[in-house]
Structure 1
Amino acid sequence: MPATGHYLAVFTSNKTSPKWRAWYAMTKAEQDAVDAIGVPAVKAWDEAHRDVIVYQGGPLGPTKRATEDGVTDVVNELTVFMVVRAESHEAAAQLFVGHPHCTIFPCDAVEVMPLLGA
């Protein structure tokens, strides 16, 4: 692996988790108030890390699984993705500690994995 590699970061959320139950219990006005804080915080995080963001990615929609038996609709915890550049796998993961999606919004975690061959 090169000294500086590319890493896929996948934000995960279990829509039945306590964080999401709390989000769903909020009124629209309460959610809007969180958005008013969270959206600028995410933009600020993106700006602060723009030099290491290789591909901004974005939200992920509904999932279909294709197998030898055909195609089915499935539910998973994958919600957002991006590609970053870092000196190591650990350094890439550290970028997401305290990310606003997990501290302000009800995202559960960010899973970070090397893009092999990239």
Structure 2
Amino acid sequence: MARFLAVYIMHPESLARFRGLPKAEQDAIDAAGLPQWVAWEKEHAASFVDRGGMVGKTLRVSRDGIAPASNPFCGYVVVEAPDIEAAARLFENHPHFSIFPGDSVDIMPFVTEPPDSAN
């Protein structure tokens, strides 16, 4: 089976809108979303190569050195599926964007083989 990187996308303005809600409303969204995210993970556990995780602030390293940066990535997971369409279908109606303020999940195939675990 092919491997795919799924990147959770949340634009800063989406997070700002969520953080602008009353605390009780944010808590209600969390209370509704977290059990659904856990259920999604259980339903698709056989597809996970790497359960990934959520990520925080970015430092960018370039020829100019190291500097703070921003991007819309807020997490990732690595999945296996027969093809990219099947991988994408795993994320249809995902709580990241159906409940939480996430914008999308971007699915990308790995074009290199995984590292040999014997080395």
The TM-score with structure 1 as length reference comes to 0.90
Asked whether 1:80 is paired with 2:75, we answer yes
Structure 2 unaligned blocks of 5 or more: 115-119
Matches within 5 A, 1:37-76: 37-76=32-71
RMSD: 1.1
1:115 aligns with 2:110: yes
Separation in structure 1 between the aligned mates of residue 97 and residue 60 of structure 2, nearest angstrom = 27
Q: Distance in 2 between matches of 1:65 and 1:15?
A: 17
Q: Counterpart of 1:38 in 2: which secondary structure?
A: helix
The number of residue pairs the alignment matches comes to 113
Identity %: 40
Gaps of 5+ in 1: none
Structure 1 residue 21: Cα displacement: 4.3
Which 4+ residue blocks in structure 1 deviate beyond 4 angstroms?
none
Shift of 1:25: 2.5
The alpha carbon displacement at 1:54 in A equals 1.1
Distance in 2, Cα, partners of 1:69 & 1:5: 36
Paired with 2:18 and 2:67, the residues of 1 have a C-alpha distance of 29
Relative to the length of structure 2, the TM-score reads 0.90
Residue deviations 1:30-88, cap 9 Å, x none?
A: 11111111000000000000010111100111111111111111010000100000000
